[in-house]
Amino acid sequence: MKIIIHGGFFSESSQSMATKIAKQQALRHVVKNAYDYLKTHTALETVAYAVEQLENDELFNAGIGSQIQSDGKIRMSASIMDGESTKFSGVINIENVKNPIRVAEKLFPTEDRVLGGEGATNFARAHKFEFFNPEIPQRRKEYEAKTGSKSLGTVGCVALDEKGNIATATSTGGKGFEIPGRISDSATAAGNYANSYCGVSCTGIGEDIVSTAVATKIVTRVSDGFTIDKAFEKTFAELKAIDGFAGAIAIDHKGTIFHLDSHPCMVFASFDGNTLDVFE
């Protein structure tokens, strides 16, 4: 059993050391809790559980603490994917829910598994997800000052369970001040993808991740026989060619945990029951 999580990017130039330490502690706590959960649950159940914990922490840009768009509203996106069945479900630009990943999870057994905007929000209400405003005072202050936040990226998780199944989940609160209706990578196969060979969750600039299909390419290359490090190397070379900004976490079917970023400040934590690795 293996698990890795990420919490987006950390900007050394704008965020205090206290914030960095707080994020490290939060990631340690979540990855250990999620690993304990994985002992008695599937990889698919575990990635939803881990991402829910990250959505509940305003240190990260997902769920509580999400960014405010240019019209003053918060819209969030999240997705979940099962490597064994290669089923994918997600919500795009959902509003006023606490945990978008749980709505994405609820869509998993349905026929129409990716919903956007009002349709996603209406589905949530129909399935007893209560109204919840994820805005925190700091985000409103940033919005009114038109400064934006330096809480870059998304949150995500990849898990490998005791049966060898891989699953991924990714959630984002957006980039802030975006045009309403913008689609991020988080609820697409470019940002969150898994099959029986590998699972990948991405963070960074969504347009760059979509342009280079980061998660899908890494997983496809591992499936085609690349080692996970070489799959990352080739994919990130293609990202560099467009001066892209992204990071990714992964686990392959052999249990290899891997992560890489184009700018070395992606916050992450991984655990295999013995070794804990955390962004320093």
- Active-site positions read 154
At 208, list the tokens: 């760059």
Q: What is the DSSP letter of 179?
A: P
Give the CA distances from residue 181 to residues 95, 187, 272, in Å, rounded to whole numbers and listed in that order.
Answer: 12, 13, 39
CA dihedral 120, 105, 199, 267 (to 10 degrees): 80
Give the CA distances from residue 230 to residues 39, 101, 122, 219, 233, in Å, rounded to whole numbers and listed in that order.
Answer: 30, 30, 43, 11, 5
Residue 276 host element (H or E) = strand 276-278
φ, ψ at 88 (rounded to 5°): -130, 135
- Measured on CA atoms in the order 42, 44, 48, 51, is the torsion positive or negative? positive
Instruction: Pinpoint the alpha helices (H) of 82-227.
Output: 100-107, 117-126, 137-145, 206-211, 214-223
- Tokens 């990017």 found at: 9
Cβ atoms 62, 155 nearer than 8 A: yes
Other CB atoms within a 10 A radius of the CB of residue 226 amount to 20
Q: What is the DSSP letter of 152?
A: B
Give the CA distances from residue 254 to residues 42, 85, 112, 163, 196, in Å, rounded to whole numbers and listed in that order.
Answer: 17, 18, 32, 12, 10
